[in-house]
Homo-oligomer: A and B are copies of this chain.
Amino acid sequence: MLDFMHYLPTRFVFGRSAEDKAGEMVRTCGGTRVLVHFGGGSAVKSGLLDRITASLEAAGLEYITLGGAQPNPVASKVYEGIDIIRKNNLDFVLGVGGGSTLDSSKAMALGAVYDGDFWDFFSGKALPKAHLPMGAVITLAASGSESSNSAVIMKDETMEKRGLNVEFNRPVFALMNPERTFTLPPYQTACGATDIMAHVLERYFTNETCVDLTDRMCEAVLNAVIAAAHKAMKDPCDYDARAQLMWAGTIAHNDTVGVGRLGDWASHRIEHELSAKYGVAHGAGLAVVFPAWMRYHLNLKHDVARFARLAVNVFGCEMNFANPEATAWEGVERFEAFLTSIGMPVTFRQMGGDPADIPALAESTKKDAQGLVGNFTRLDTAAVETILRLSDR
């Protein structure tokens, strides 16, 4: 188990009518003039935006709204938000929507108090030293952005998609009403469930030993997501299934299940290239990449025991004590079968990929200074290409 520091400053308000606390929570967290950044028209149509602005008004707060966040958050929208914040001297950013909207809002909150170009943070040129406080009202159980230290932004011109993990990125509050996810189409619900599972699996696949407690917590979240995803797909208005997914999405990505272990994160890096290239939803891209990543490591026979454990404790496989590797492979197959059952693509072509792109995608996948990505094993460009080819079946 690794030494760690853990600090989670987000105030969670979870349940029916959570959004009505917007004004009170902004005040509690010191905001007075608010940029309300939201996504598509659904926040307007559903009446959510009205509820939020009414709550801000009731608390005597001034605000400006900015709509039009994109499914893959683009830098141009961030510049627009920063401009509005500066011109109007705003002191709080409230993101209303899914992960993309929240990530854009995080980037605005960092960029508004920085003299240079906010992209400096995402390109690795500079580290943020301050931010405006930022709150979240979520409408999608997926990204965990409502309390994670992550934000991912895509540069419009180059379609580079880059992530930034800093403590400043954690929202000061998160308002979470599962009812707000009732109107999500099944495909988006499934993408969200897959994203949540991937956030847990990235942490689960570690070489750190003696992490029994967090191993078990990871398995608990995975099992709960599998059970709830099926229910929410069948009945989109099943409050309790939506509630399980929503809270699972939060703890999957705020290190509640990840302290003391070094996660992998190669699948996320590889996926960013797929969603940037093909505009595919992040969850769908992960459904293609993660099983292939597993196959790659099982071919290497890297920590077969951990794969077998996952197969038994999460995917309900019976342990083959004489041949744990067989159990491990069965687990990967059951994972893919689960993903297929909720309507996710699991091969490169199902996702709409062109195999001819694979070498370029492997090449452009962001690596570290050593030209490698991932921690469970360290992957070079050739290894990433192998993984993408394993997804092309």
CA distance A25 to B5 in the complex (A): 12
Q: At the interface, yes or no: A127 with Cβ under 8 Å from chain B?
A: no
Interface stretch of the complex, out of A50-58, A88-96, A223-231: A223-231
In residues 1-57 of chain A, which contact B (Cβ within 8 Å)?
Answer: 1-16, 18
Q: Is A382 an interface residue, CB under 8 A from the partner?
A: no
Q: Are A213 and B2 in contact (CB under 8 A)?
A: no
Contact with B along A223-262 (1 / 0, CB 8 A): 1100110000000000111011001100100001001100
Known contacts A8-B8, A240-B1, A14 near B216 by CB under 8 Å? no
Report the minimum CB–CB distance from A229 to chain B (whole Å): 12
Tell me the nearest residue of chain B to A178, going by C-beta: B1
Cα–Cα distance between A1 and B220 once the two chains are bound (Å): 17
Are B15 and A4 neighbours in the complex by a CB distance under 8 Å? Answer: yes
Residues of B within 8 A of A59 (CB): none
The interface size bin for chain A is 35 or more
Do A244 and B1 touch (CB < 8 A)?
A: yes
Cβ B243 vs Cβ A1 within 8 A:
yes
Q: Is A217 an interface residue, CB under 8 A from the partner?
A: yes
Closest residue of chain B to A173, judged by CB? B7
Q: Please state if B14 and A5 are interface contacts (CB–CB under 8 Å).
A: yes
| Residue pair A243, B227 in contact (C-beta under 8 Å) | no
Indicate if A368 sits at the interface (CB-CB under 8 A). Answer: no
A213 touches B247 (CB 8 A): yes
* Residue pair A14, B7 in contact (C-beta under 8 Å): no
Q: Considering the chains assembled together, what is the distance between the CA atoms of A246 and B216 in angstroms?
A: 16
| A2 proximity list for chain B (CB < 8 A) | 15
Q: Known contacts being A219-B220, A256-B256, is A9 close to B12, with CB within 8 Å?
A: no
| Chain B contacts for A220, CB-based, 8 A | 213, 216-217, 219-220
Q: Is the CB of B244 within 8 A of A228?
A: no
A7 & B11 in contact (Cβ 8 Å cutoff): yes
A-B contact pairs, 21 of them (CB 8 A): A1-B240, A3-B14, A3-B16, A4-B15, A5-B11, A6-B11, A6-B12, A6-B14, A7-B11, A7-B12, A14-B259, A210-B240, A210-B243, A212-B227, A212-B228, A213-B220, A213-B221, A217-B220, A217-B221, A247-B259, A256-B256
A-B contact sample (11 more), CB < 8 A, given A4-B12, A8-B8, A219-B220: A1-B239, A3-B18, A4-B14, A6-B11, A6-B12, A6-B14, A14-B259, A210-B244, A212-B224, A213-B247, A243-B260
- In order of increasing CB-CB distance, the 6 nearest A-B pairs are A3-B15, A210-B240, A216-B220, A213-B224, A6-B12, A7-B11
